[in-house]
Structure 1
Amino acid sequence: METQEAGLKTVNNTYMESHRILRTPSALVRDALLYIQEIGEMVCKEPRQNWRNSLDSYLLILVKEGCGTITVGEETLAMQAGDVAFLDCHNPYSHCCDARDPWHILWVHCNGAAMPHLYDIFRQRNASFVMSGAAEWIEPVLQNLERIAMAEEPDYELYESECLTQLITLILTRKAEKTGHISGDTSQKWEQIHQYLEEHFAEKITLEELGKRFGISKYYMLRGFKRKYGVTIVQFLNQCRMNYAKNELRFTDKQIDTIAEECGIHDSSYFNRIFRTTEGISAGAYRRQWRN
């Protein structure tokens, strides 16, 4: 039996009981924000393999009760109550509940212009697409997202986007805190490196010297820093330098060459190239825009 009203679809059959809300985003939301494509809840009664391929979507599945498996490509991982999976549905995937302990799951299919970049950060920071024990902090946000979707109050798309942003932020940040793949001591070391770069960005810093200062290999440091912060050490250094440069351009009358030197960049053409890459305009144009 199937019923459908105002985007809410309920299905009761031999295999499952489920309800889902389908969404068609407005043009503004599709171009500028994160949005729901489908959100729902399912209680399985017996195993059923669901295969998908080449969906323009990103899927979050939370196991509320029971257990099952998720397969992405040739990798199959077991999931149990409290686990959460985050998948890029452009790639082939499937999921199936366990025959002896069928699962009860919550899910949301979502998308948006920023989602490919956000998912790349997720995979950089996580060796697996399954997060063990993550339901404790994801379920309340996911349930709130479903309530917003069901209510369809004025500006609901904006509230859905806000809630989705909170959900993705939790996935990207809380995972490392609770069940990350690096120890507490090593995590503290990344924070120390981060702070050191913020304070010494104007100095000449080589990766070899930085690794020696903090007692880790250059290549391990490069991988670990990017996994934690989503940018490379060189990219972060340039961010620090550009933040300083923008402040000086706006609030002082210093020459651009002088500001470049103070940033630790002794080649003014290289400074201008970095500035244009990050801001889209030259340092001189930035100064004129913000001081006018």
Structure 2
Amino acid sequence: MLIPDGFPGQRMLVLPRPRVQEFLAQPGTTGLLVTDSGFFPRADSHGRRRSTPISQGVVIACVDGVGWCETESGRFPVQKGQVMVLPPGSPHSYGADGLHPWTLWWFHVAGPAVDRFFAASGLTPENPVRRPRDLYPVVALMSEVLTWMERDSTTTSLNAAAGAAWHALTLLASDRSRETDSKDVIEHTTEYLRNHLADHVSIRELASLASLSPSRFSALFKRQIGYSVVQYHTLLRMARARELLDTTSRPVATIAAEVGYVDSFYFARQFKKVHGMTARQYRAQRKG
């Protein structure tokens, strides 16, 4: 049997739902509100099953012990040092291990910006467990969230809690890796792409180097970087092209060839697509 709360030494704050609606209707807010927050030490038998999705995103940091979570994509183990990020509108369950129950910091967030941020940052049911390189700053922010929530429910306090929650979410979103080995694979790939700007990129060859199928490799790359391999390679090429345009007087066609575009007309189309202007217009504009 899973117990949602009531653990010795716990801290928990649930904002009254009328106040939630009132706050989100106010002009000038951040579009995000912390609706619930807490700290559960050694939460024996803790857990929730939500077959009916809720409108809040759920963030849970495990600082000790172990547990698990389930989404429509499967069951995932959760260990000390990991964070569950469960997007709104997604059925899910989670629970503490029976022998080594976890200790948790957690909060729920709601608002018009939440869905967009989770989707854009790759915080999806397919990738619900994160291992930050450094859990301390994330937990420090979650503690700050709870402290502001416990203070009062004024707009000032709720905005401060929302700011700390935003910061925690951005840290988790920027730390895209779920597993160390997958992080290394993508880091090696991005380094390879940076060192081979002028070369043709084959997804199949890159996947083979990583001992992954092309579809699995492509999905992993897109989830961690936020762009496809081809899109990312194009952005790297364009960054080098900008550097050459800014620091040399070489002809545009020469620069195009140096960054891997034999066809200078195709380079021109790609450059304008990325920058909204031609390479010559970019070179002519004042900078700095």
* 1:37 and 2:34 matched: yes
Q: Where does residue 142 of structure 1 map in the other structure?
A: 142
Following superposition of structure 1 onto structure 2, how do residues 81-230 of structure 1 map, counting pairs within 5 Å?
Answer: 83-95=82-94, 105-110=104-109, 111=114, 113-120=116-123, 128-131=127-130, 136-137=135-136, 138-147=138-147, 157=159, 160-161=162-163, 164-170=166-172, 172-173=174-175, 175-176=177-178, 179-182=179-182, 187=184, 190-207=186-203, 214=209, 216=211, 219=214, 222-223=218-219, 225-226=221-222, 228-230=224-226
Q: 1:271 aligns with which of 262, 267, 272?
A: 267
CA contact 1:83–1:134 (8 Å) conserved in 2: no
Q: CA deviation at 1:247?
A: 2.2
| Structure 1: segments with no counterpart, 5+ residues | 1-10
Q: 1:27-58 CA deviation, whole Å, 9 max, x = no partner?
A: 55546xxx343241165798785536454542
Segment of structure 1 superposing worse, 64-73 or 246-255: 64-73
* 1:19 and 2:13 matched: yes
Q: Partner amino acid for 1:37? A: V
- Between Structure 1 and Structure 2, which shows a larger proportion of strand residues? 1
Q: Kindly tell me the number of residue pairs found equivalent between the two proteins.
A: 266
Q: 1:256 aligns with which of 252, 258, 263?
A: 252
Q: 1:188-210 CA deviation, whole Å, 9 max, x = no partner?
A: x6444433322330244444565
Q: 1:43-95 CA deviation, whole Å, 9 max, x = no partner?
A: 57987855364545422123467876644237455657765321112222345
CA contact 2:33–2:162 (8 Å) conserved in 1: yes
> Is the alpha carbon distance of 1:272 and 1:154 closer, same or farther for their aligned partners in structure 2, counting shifts above 3 Å?
farther
Q: CA deviation at 1:276?
A: 2.8
Following superposition of structure 1 onto structure 2, how do residues 62-77 of structure 1 map, counting pairs within 5 Å?
Answer: 62-63=61-62, 70-73=69-72, 75-76=74-75
**C-alpha distance in 2 between matches for 1:158 and 1:287:** 43
Q: CA deviation at 1:280?
A: 3.3
Q: Partner amino acid for 2:147? A: R
**C-alpha distance in 2 between matches for 1:211 and 1:42:** 42
Q: CA deviation at 1:159?
A: 8.1
> Is the alpha carbon distance of 1:211 and 1:90 closer, same or farther for their aligned partners in structure 2, counting shifts above 3 Å?
closer
Q: CA deviation at 1:215?
A: 7.4
Q: Where does residue 8 of structure 1 map in the other structure?
A: none
**C-alpha distance in 2 between matches for 1:249 and 1:49:** 56
**C-alpha distance in 2 between matches for 1:169 and 1:236:** 21
TM-score, scaled to structure 2: 0.65
> Is the alpha carbon distance of 1:161 and 1:202 closer, same or farther for their aligned partners in structure 2, counting shifts above 3 Å?
farther
Identity of aligned residues (%): 20
**C-alpha distance in 2 between matches for 1:103 and 1:206:** 44
> Is the alpha carbon distance of 1:180 and 1:166 closer, same or farther for their aligned partners in structure 2, counting shifts above 3 Å?
same
| Structure 2: segments with no counterpart, 5+ residues | none
CA contact 1:70–1:77 (8 Å) conserved in 2: yes
> Is the alpha carbon distance of 1:273 and 1:264 closer, same or farther for their aligned partners in structure 2, counting shifts above 3 Å?
same
Q: Where does residue 282 of structure 2 map in the other structure?
A: 286
**C-alpha distance in 1 between matches for 2:77 and 2:211:** 34
> Is the alpha carbon distance of 1:20 and 1:206 closer, same or farther for their aligned partners in structure 2, counting shifts above 3 Å?
same
